[in-house]
Amino acid sequence: MRVALGIEYLGTAYCGWQYQEHCDSVQKNLQSALSFIADEKIEVHCAGRTDAGVHAIGQVVHFDTKSARLGRAWVQGTNTQLPYDIRVAWAKPVSEDFHARFSAKARQYRYVIFNRAVHSAVLSGRVTWERQCLNEHAMHNAAQALIGEYDFSSFRASGCQANHAIREVQSIQVTRHDDFVFVDIQANAFLHHMVRNIVGTLLEIGRGEKPEEWVKSLLEKQDRTQAGITAPAEGLYFVNALYPEEFELPRTPLDAVLWQE
């Protein structure tokens, strides 16, 4: 039987999603908890791997098992075996042709910037702090140049292992709610550090250090060294993996990322 799960986690304490022998990862904890409930070794596959310090509210995984369990066992039972900062939100049996990564049509991320002169004591590790007042309208206008299918080499980490840098950004919006600036981006897939590199570039535009046209010129140059720095991991949230309707999987609303717009 193949089962899909919706996973939430606060990434602060982990070295990322992917299982690694030398450090604590989200995948390592989840597989251990599921294996306990299933009474067999479980290996999970995710919709999109996240880096150290990156969070998720709509990560999707799947696994195969010989154990027959009710949905509430996969949710409530697994959660009893997980640390407080990792939770299974839902579970659903799926067909054998479903794959958490390869069946996904698109992925959504939200980047959260706390834009105030003084940092928040209670939001540390959950947002990126920017003391200088940002022009979110300039950031949004500049970001529209990214919509479409392009070579995103200028926003690709040097260690990215993808075969090519061609990706399709389907939407990107920069909005403000009081002291919070949100960067919401949806694409068919993402390169390593792609969202954080885009945000780092948009921050320079928001501060007035670069013109709005800079983003378009960076796409054309296809040179990572010309773009902005990589924005911190703590502001980034994996919000959704989007699948064909036939799988009938839940979708996480954007406003579930701590703050409503």
Kindly list the structural domains of the chain, giving each domain's residue range(s) and its CATH number in brackets, ordered by start.
2-103 (3.30.70.580), 108-239 (3.30.70.660)
144-149: list long-range contacts, CB under 8 Å, 24+ apart: 144/172, 145/215, 145/216, 145/219, 146/172, 146/198, 146/215, 146/219, 147/171, 147/172
Catalytic residue among 51, 85, 178, 255: 51
The share of the chain scoring above pLDDT 70, in percent, equals 97
Report, as an integer, the average pLDDT of 102-115.
Answer: 97
CA 17 to chain centre: 11
pLDDT of residue 44: 97
Q: Check if 51 is active-site.
A: yes
| Distance separating alpha carbons of residues 220 and 150, to the nearest angstrom | 9
Please count the CA atoms within 13 angstroms of the CA of 65 that sit on its side-chain side: 25
Q: 255 or 5, which is more confident? A: 5
| Distance separating alpha carbons of residues 187 and 71, to the nearest angstrom | 30
Q: What are phi and psi of 65, to 5 degrees?
A: -150, 155
Q: 14 or 252, which is more confident? A: 14
Q: Are 5 and 71 in contact (CB under 8 A)?
A: no
Average pLDDT, the chain: 94
Q: What is the pLDDT of residues 197-236, one digit of tens each?
A: 999 999 999 999 999 999 999 999 999 999 999 999 999 9
257 band by pLDDT with thresholds 50, 70 and 90:
low
33 band by pLDDT with thresholds 50, 70 and 90:
very high
Full-prediction pTM beyond 0.85? yes
| Distance separating alpha carbons of residues 122 and 125, to the nearest angstrom | 9
